[in-house]
Structure 1
Amino acid sequence: MAVEQPRAGVTTGRPMTGSEYLESLRDGRRVYFRGEWVRDVTTHPAFRNAARSIARLYDALHDPRFKDILTKVDRYGNLTHKFFAPAYSAQDLLEARDAIALWQRLNYGWMGRTPEYKASFMATLGADPDYYKPFGDNARRWYNEAASRVLFLNHVIVDPPVDRHRPIHEVRDVYVHVVKETDGGIYVSGAKQVATASALTHATFVAANSGSAARLQEGKDEDFALVFIARMNTPGQVLISRASYELKAESPFDYPLSSRFDENDAILVFDNAFIPWEDVLIYRDVQKLKAFYADSGFFNRFNFQATIRMAIKTEFMAGLLLKGLECNGTVDFRGNQVLAGEIVAMRHLFWALVAAMAHDPEPSLGDSVVPRLEYAAAARVYTNFAWDRIRQIFERVLGGSPILNVSSYKDLRDPDLRPILDRYLRGTGMPAKERIKLFKLVWDAVYSEFAGRHGLYELNYAGNHEQKYLDTLNWARARQLTDQFKELVDQCLADYDLDGWKDPAWAWDG
């Protein structure tokens, strides 16, 4: 199948602009919200500001202030975002780091699944398309389309939490699987989660994470051993969105984060959806599906992007906490400084992990390099549980201050109420309006429904709490690192026995 031709107003051969990105979302996709088909996500109040937050990223690619940091020409001749291209050196990774960071600072680290997140995988298709034989041409074509237009892909790699005690092939009514094979392609049915920001993307990447893949059995689960890409207007593909925090945000003053950075999550359902062969990467190959999560370089690269985002989000939270303490007049209290210092230390740790991943990469597909797996695994663990600790610190040192606030920005516009607010809701050296504004931001970051979703997201977006540690251990075993660890202990045990030290350099009077 030829590469899909763009609609009027959308240009190939270079990254999209913000307006072209918004136009590209008007493609007939089936997004359901509150029992209705959302015909245009760019104008619907549940999605429109998040769409514009993404559009700002595309405009930055063309901004003279940013384009040299953000873009490069890859080996195929595509002008693209630097993280959308494979890296071939530590310098390439360092430049990609700066490009990711620039984009993430535009949303203060509050949008995790921005276009460069899935570029963690899509770039690897260009490094060695033939890894996906007999679908190597598909990988090459998808890489070039994604890179040249800086496509925004979402992904679904987790089976719904249904009947997980049963073998995968016994849950055909729910899990994504092949229904029928034809000369033109395959028909698939089933559901996947969690399709974060999917309503605002160009295509869905469908695969299995390490936990799901580990459960696959040869001879039984071939119909489930799939990796493919489905454009968002694929017939039979349906997105069922959760509640919109953007829709519930009454004003930017009251909800400055919810109102523009809500990456609406969704359940993605394929109902006898047709996937052309040209969009398939792995088909009915259990062993390849089990291996690809680590072999492809996706794991190494997505943790690179995720750690940069978390470093910036942690910087934001450190600044927010310090401003809250200053407003309360408690910034000089020793205990508060200790806990603020803990958040700053987290920030330093994350940037140190990013530096290690960039400066000490490992070989990957083709002659490309990716961040070292061991460092990526460590980053996955420590960034995921950091958010709980940050929230605990806010709760401990700010106490009930975030609750001491008005119900709405409208209270500040009431001429009778305003003098009372100006007197009793002022901060330390801060007018009431600014104090109210600051703690509205604190509330939206830590306590609102949007914030609650972020707490769940940060803990689970990279895998369940056990899988993160299991993968770290299993990959260390596969690389013989655990053998090295045990050998170090064996060396120590060999230094002595019942008769004392074996090396006379140590003394013993026993």
Structure 2
Amino acid sequence: MHTIEQLDDGRAVYLNGKRINVAEVPIFRKTLALNNQYYDLQRTHSAVHTYQENGKNYDIAFKVPRTVDDLRQKHQAYQEIAQSNSGMLGRTPDFLNTGMAVLAERADFLGHNQYADFADNARNYAKWVKANDIFISHALQNPQLNRQRAINAIPSGYAGVHTVERNQDGIFVSGAKMVNTMAPIADDLLIFNPPELLLEPGDTSYAVAFATPLNNPGVKIICRKLLDHPGYTTADYPLSNLLDEIDAYIIFDHAFIPWSKVFVDNNVEMSNRFFIDSGMFIHTSHQDEVRGITKLELATSLAIRVAHVLGLDGFLGVQEKLGRLTANLELIKGTITRSEDQGHLDQFGIYTPSLQALQAVRSTLPSYYDQALRVTQHLAAGSMVGTPGYAEFDGDNATILKQALTTDRATATERTRLLNLAFDLTSAGFGQRQLMYEYYHGGNPMRIRSQHYQHADLTAGNHMLDSLLAEHVD
């Protein structure tokens, strides 16, 4: 865990056209405080959040799961971390740290070149992250410039990150990555390519994977516009004035990466295999979907609370809408549990959750979350849009507003806070970013569903079909 002042380490962070000191941005300070709950929970709830190995304590994310009970403990830890930020921080340290745990054991496939042993590099890096419990973020998505052309056919050089020079000490890289969540407040950045956009043979220089500190002189972090509302309190914007996950566009300008931090270089096959074959994809997916449950439960609870406070929950039609939401939540919870119960030991002795179950969640949860937001919008409607600013309760109209907006179900201030939360989550820029994040952070939903169908185990169903379709002699 670090303080926000420690992030004034020379990193080049830009906001609204100017280079900034991260510590001077209020919403960054608040986001870091919530992110640090990952570390706080290791002290306050160590029975769940830590484990011992060789006489030392480590965060449970770093534990290599060997049994279903190991996955269940990690599930509980992920859930408690997510609950500390209402499921709104998708890239807390436990996300990539659980990937580091398995990378250390599955890295052999990466091989070596004349300068470096990439497998050893990956193992050593994973062990270093674990020993120091640092916060690493990652950037894998290439800028969406022209997806109809090969990455090497886009002349600007910013269609991805590519090697421009190498020597006996390391490589120099230039280029860009489109979305990097939490980069301004992370310690290290892990760069690799997404598995769903496979590189082609001509893309060799883009076939890289490496780690670098954020204060690397060749790295620039260009933040998107912030989503908070200065001048208003959290009573008006209870989420967007509490945190911002801070997506950024990353530029590499002849940045030096020592060989010890390189995991793939000029190898299209290894680049395409890196995320999947390292085991990081499936184990980070487990963490990600547990966090998704937390966020879905918040959205479901909000819809139900709004219906109650506005006196709508006695109508059968509203109850049916809310019942769909609670059923959706139960289905997602059950599928996550199934992913754990139907896991298996891989060839490395790592207990691995069911990918089919996790992909079912990943392909479905975004639409369930969207549905919960839409129900809240439908129920709150004009009441939400017409809610006065919270400062009005200290103004000239305070007395009449408190009288006019108080009901037998909520005081005027309670009602206002709830409707402000409903607007923040369902309709404000913060809420819309969160919705888009759920749809796309895990990859193209259409591609996910296509892959799910292709890997479905329908042995029993096909057996029944064959039996019914077989010719029978009456």
TM-score for the superposition, normalised by structure 1: 0.87
Question: Residues 55-93 of structure 1: CA distance to partner in whole angstroms, max 9, x if unpaired?
Answer: 233222122xx111111124x665222122221111110
| 1:358 corresponds to which of 322, 334, 340 | 340
Residue 307 of structure 2 corresponds to residue 329 of structure 1: no
Q: CA deviation at 1:332?
A: 1.4
Q: CA deviation at 1:171?
A: 2.2
Q: CA deviation at 1:249?
A: 6.5
SS in 1 for 2:257: strand
- Flag as ranges the 4+ runs of structure 1 deviating above 4 A: 484-487
Paired residue type of 1:447: S
Paired residue type of 1:44: V
Contact persistence 2:63–2:98 (CA under 8 A)? no
In structure 1, the residue matched to 2:162 is: 177
Equivalence map 1:378-397=2 (5 Å): 378-397=360-379
Question: Residues 339-389 of structure 1: CA distance to partner in whole angstroms, max 9, x if unpaired?
Answer: 111111122112112211222213346221221121121111011222221
SS in 1 for 2:255: strand
Residue 137 of structure 2 corresponds to residue 158 of structure 1: no
| 1:72 corresponds to which of 51, 57, 69 | 51
Q: CA deviation at 1:485?
A: 8.0
Once structures 1 and 2 are overlaid, which stretch shifts more, 263-272 or 81-90?
Answer: 81-90
In structure 2, the residue matched to 1:495 is: 470
Paired residue type of 1:302: T
| 1:457 corresponds to which of 437, 441, 464 | 437
Paired residue type of 1:187: F
Question: Residues 172-204 of structure 1: CA distance to partner in whole angstroms, max 9, x if unpaired?
Answer: 511211101111110111111210111111111
SS in 2 for 1:48: helix
SS in 1 for 2:25: coil
Q: CA deviation at 1:46?
A: 4.0
**Percent of aligned positions with the same letter in both sequences?**
26
In structure 1, the residue matched to 2:85 is: 107
Residue 352 of structure 2 corresponds to residue 373 of structure 1: no
In structure 2, the residue matched to 1:12 is: none
Identify if the C-alpha distance between structure 1 residues 42 and 489 changes in structure 2 by more than 3 Å, giving closer, same or farther: farther
Identify if the C-alpha distance between structure 1 residues 393 and 97 changes in structure 2 by more than 3 Å, giving closer, same or farther: same
Contact persistence 2:28–2:243 (CA under 8 A)? no
Paired residue type of 2:446: E
Taking the aligned partners of 1:279 and 1:485, their CA distance within structure 2 comes to 47
Q: CA deviation at 1:486?
A: 8.9
In structure 1, the residue matched to 2:181 is: 196
Contact persistence 1:364–1:370 (CA under 8 A)? yes
Residue 249 of structure 2 corresponds to residue 274 of structure 1: no
Taking the aligned partners of 1:253 and 1:365, their CA distance within structure 2 comes to 52
| 2:20 corresponds to which of 30, 38, 62 | 38
Listed as ranges, the gaps of 5+ residues in structure 1 are: 1-15, 505-510
Contact persistence 1:160–1:192 (CA under 8 A)? yes
Q: CA deviation at 1:429?
A: 2.5
Question: Residues 431-469 of structure 1: CA distance to partner in whole angstroms, max 9, x if unpaired?
Answer: 111111111111111111101111111111111232222
Question: Residues 213-250 of structure 1: CA distance to partner in whole angstroms, max 9, x if unpaired?
Answer: 2xx222x1211111111111111111110111135472
Taking the aligned partners of 1:466 and 1:60, their CA distance within structure 2 comes to 37
In structure 1, the residue matched to 2:150 is: 167
Residue 137 of structure 2 corresponds to residue 141 of structure 1: no
In structure 2, the residue matched to 1:124 is: 102
Taking the aligned partners of 1:115 and 1:98, their CA distance within structure 2 comes to 15
In structure 2, the residue matched to 1:54 is: 35
Q: CA deviation at 1:129?
A: 3.6
Taking the aligned partners of 1:207 and 1:152, their CA distance within structure 2 comes to 17
How many residues in Structure 1 have an aligned counterpart in Structure 2? 467
Taking the aligned partners of 2:324 and 2:120, their CA distance within structure 1 comes to 49
SS in 2 for 1:86: coil
Identify if the C-alpha distance between structure 1 residues 140 and 393 changes in structure 2 by more than 3 Å, giving closer, same or farther: same
Once structures 1 and 2 are overlaid, which stretch shifts more, 24-33 or 235-244?
Answer: 24-33
Contact persistence 2:373–2:425 (CA under 8 A)? no
Q: CA deviation at 1:124?
A: 1.6
| Cα root mean square deviation, aligned | 2.1
In structure 1, the residue matched to 2:271 is: 289
Paired residue type of 2:66: Y
Taking the aligned partners of 1:221 and 1:279, their CA distance within structure 2 comes to 21
SS in 2 for 1:258: coil
Contact persistence 2:380–2:419 (CA under 8 A)? no
Identify if the C-alpha distance between structure 1 residues 364 and 42 changes in structure 2 by more than 3 Å, giving closer, same or farther: farther
Paired residue type of 1:132: L
Q: CA deviation at 1:33?
A: 0.4
In structure 1, the residue matched to 2:115 is: none
Q: CA deviation at 1:396?
A: 2.3
Contact persistence 2:189–2:213 (CA under 8 A)? yes
